[in-house]
Structure formats: structure tokens, C-alpha cells
Amino acid sequence: MPPHFLCPVSQRGWHGRRARYRTAVIPEAARKLSAVAVYTDINEHDLKAFLAQYDAGELLSYKGIAEGVENSNFLLHTSKFPLILTLYEKRVEKSDLPFFLGLMHHLSERGLNCPLPLPRQDGELLGELSGRPAALISFLEGMWLRKPEAQHCREVGAALARMHIAGEGFELTRPNALSLEGWQILWAKSEARADEVDEGLEAEIGAELDVLATHWPKELPAGVIHADLFPDNVFFLGDQLSGLIDFYFACNDLLVYDLSICLNSWCFEKDGAYNITKGKAMIEGYQSVRPLSAAEIEALPILCRGSALRFFLTRLYDWLTTPAGALVVKKDPLEYLKKLRFHRAVTNASEYGLIA
């Protein structure tokens, strides 16, 4: 029988409320990764001292969990509620953590269902454990969808718009390191070997970067974006969206660019075909909360090209540089090359399902 873990319902207020929790099965693939999900080990003595800085009750048990491949994560059971302990590894810049944690707190206070960092008794959201920056965070109840349908895309669109509105007034800022300038840096690291992946790729991507640099929109509504709202970062309970997770790529950028990321990650089928029914539902869901301006609608095709290129470039870099035998599963960059080529042929936003 597969192992289980307890997942508490996300809470917007920590005091005076007990967490409800359910039993969930760890998928086989996740269990196989469990041995590598913890990069920094902890001991009970240090953990209890760390926990004493919070109003989180007494430690009952803890164990490493197979959640995430960038940080070390542990499931804690305390006398008050279960929690997720995250130790931030070297890929995450420590200077960015106040933005990420503060943003989750800001969004949660404004009604968005997302993981909530637990403040320490001194009010700080970030501590240190085993030589790593560390935080205690609630765990959302739900599962991500392997086969999302149009109604799920509609909910995601609406939730994304609610996040954009909830993000207003957040005082910290973080530039998008994976936009135009960052793409050029990534491409410079991969360009010489690009034709190993697909013949003619070096010339094609070089030309694409030139087009995007020339035509990239600048005078559009901007704010806090998620920047990585793929299906595995959205939880559902049944057909109801229960929350958004993984804000560790969040930054400040054009709001409609965030929508373009979702169109790319939610609305293409496995055969590479764009599903206009899903796209229409996602855009309608978004506009039911935050209507797009005429300028945003006009810019959607070029933004979709850009977001497809962004994920193509990160996948290409990983594909070329991840050593054989590494435990990280490489993702096929050609999936996003096909999406990029689709968007290049789009002439206006109606081809995404947008009805004027």
C-alpha cells in the first residue's frame, strides 16, 4: 500500500483555528524522488529550537517529503496544526525571499487561497535552520489536474485575474529575470549547440529574439504576476479550484503576459494542437474579473510568442547542460518550439478564442 501524508486546509488566519486535514496518496513518481527531495538534513534538537520561535505548538513528528526539486521540504505535525517547513537551497536568492513570502501573505490577506507563511513571534516571516533560510508555510488541500477541461481553464483564468487584483498595493518589487534581457543571456549559453536539438534552430531563435526585442510592448498594465502558473501549480478539489501554489518565480511584469503563460501551459493538447475551446474559456474567465484593454488584446499574440520562447529557452538550456544520469527529469524543449511556431502564425487574438 502506498504511503500517505496529511495535508491541512489552507488558513488565512492562524490563531484560534484548527486545521482540517485529509489523507492523500503520494504518487509512485513522487515516491521515487523522495530520496532526493531533501538536500539539507535537519535534526530534532535544532528543529525544536527553530519551532520555538513560532506560535506553532509542540513538535510531534516530522519527515522529508517529495515536494519540489529546488528546495528541501518537510512535513511537520505539531500540537496545533500540520505545517510545511521549507529550507531554501542555493538556486533561490535569499534577497528574493522577503518578496516571495511577503507576497503570499499579502495575497492571502486579500482573499486569495494560497500557501500562507507563518510569522515568527517577532513578526518576521523568514528564519534560519541548518545554515539555510527557512520558513513555515501552510499546505493547501487539493490535487493538480492531469487532464484539465475547458471549465477548469475558465476557473484558472478567473483566479489569475483575482491574483493580479489582489497583488495591487504590494510594496516590494522584483524584476522579471526571465524576460527579454534574461532570454538573451540564456540563449548565449545555448546558441552554439542549438542545432544539435533541431537543425536550423540557431538561426530561427536568433531571428525570433530580434523580432521580440523590436516589437515587445511596454505601455501596458503591469503589476505582480505569478509567471509559472502551470497545471501543477493549481490545486482543485473536485472541479472547484482550491488554491494557487509555488510563487517562487513571481515578479513584476505585464499582467497580460501572465495570461499568455497560462494559454501556453493549459490550452495545448499533447499532440501540439491549440485547443481554442480551452483558450476561449480561460480568456472569458480572466475577463469576468479583470477586462482586458484593447491594447492588451492587440499585444496578446506577441506576448504568447514571448512566453513560449521563455520556456523553450529554459528547457533548451537544461536539455543541453544536465549531465547524463542526473536525477532531474529534463523536459523536451521542442514542445515549446512547436507552440512558438503556432503563435508566429497568429494574426490577431481572435485565434486564441477571444471574442470582441
Our count of domains for the chain comes to 2
Give the neighbor-by-neighbor strand order of the sheet with 132-137: 59-64, 72-78, 82-87, 132-137, 127-129
Verify that 198 and 341 share a domain, yes or no.
Answer: yes
Does 190 fall in a domain? yes
Verify that 243 and 132 share a domain, yes or no.
Answer: no
Residue 223 has a pLDDT of: 99
CA dihedral 244, 246, 252, 253 (to 10 degrees): -70
Residue 206 has a pLDDT of: 97
Overall average pLDDT of the 148-167 stretch: 98
For residue 215, is pLDDT > 80? Answer: yes
Residue that is last in its domain, among 85, 103, 137: 137
Does 211 fall in a domain? yes
What is the per-residue pLDDT across 23-77, written as a single tens digit (0 to 9) for each?
A: 333 333 333 333 344 678 899 999 999 999 999 999 999 988 765 556 888 989 9
Task: Compute the distance between CA of residue 207 and CA of residue 198 in angstroms, rounded to an integer.
Answer: 15
Verify that 132 and 157 share a domain, yes or no.
Answer: no
For residue 87, the one-letter residue type is L
What is the per-residue pLDDT across 222-236, written as a single tens digit (0 to 9) for each?
A: 999 999 999 999 999
Task: Compute the distance between CA of residue 12 and CA of residue 107 in angstroms, rounded to an integer.
Answer: 10
Alpha helices by DSSP H, 37-96: 44-51
Does 144 fall in a domain? no
| pLDDT band with cut points at 50, 70 and 90 for residue 356 | low
Verify that 163 and 274 share a domain, yes or no.
Answer: yes
| pLDDT band with cut points at 50, 70 and 90 for residue 18 | very low
For residue 8, is pLDDT > 60? Answer: no
Verify that 131 and 154 share a domain, yes or no.
Answer: no
For residue 186, is pLDDT > 80? Answer: yes
Higher pLDDT, 156 or 38: 156
For residue 6, is pLDDT > 50? Answer: no
Q: Per mean pLDDT, which range of 12-26, 134-148, 181-195, 233-247 is the poorest?
A: 12-26
Q: What is the separation of C-alpha 214 from the centre of its chain, rounded to a whole number of angstroms?
A: 28
Which among 227, 202, 211, 194 is positioned nearest to 307, based on CA atoms? Answer: 227
CB 75 within 8 A of CB 65: yes
Cell of 259: 495570461
Domain residues for 102? 4-137
Residue 307 region by backbone torsions, left for phi larger than 0, else alpha for psi between -120 and 50, else beta: alpha
| pLDDT band with cut points at 50, 70 and 90 for residue 21 | very low
Q: Where are the extended beta strands (E) located within 158-259?
A: 222-225, 234-237, 240-244, 251-254
Higher pLDDT, 233 or 324: 233
For residue 277, is pLDDT > 70? Answer: yes
Verify that 57 and 187 share a domain, yes or no.
Answer: no
pTM of the model: 0.84
Cell of 212: 521580440
Q: How many C-beta neighbours within 10 Å does residue 258 have?
A: 25
| pLDDT band with cut points at 50, 70 and 90 for residue 86 | very high
Verify that 53 and 16 share a domain, yes or no.
Answer: yes
For residue 145, is pLDDT > 90? Answer: yes
Does 125 fall in a domain? yes
150-166 helix and 255-266 helix, angle to the nearest 10 degrees = 160
Q: Per mean pLDDT, which range of 21-25, 153-157, 245-249 is the poorest?
A: 21-25
Verify that 154 and 24 share a domain, yes or no.
Answer: no
Verify that 30 and 168 share a domain, yes or no.
Answer: no
Residue 12: give its domain's CATH number.
Answer: 3.30.200.20
Verify that 278 and 254 share a domain, yes or no.
Answer: yes
Verify that 111 and 161 share a domain, yes or no.
Answer: no
Which among 20, 33, 28 is positioned nearest to 3, based on CA atoms? Answer: 28
Residue 13 has a pLDDT of: 42
Instruction: Return mean pLDDT, the chain.
Output: 87
Overall average pLDDT of the 114-125 stretch: 93
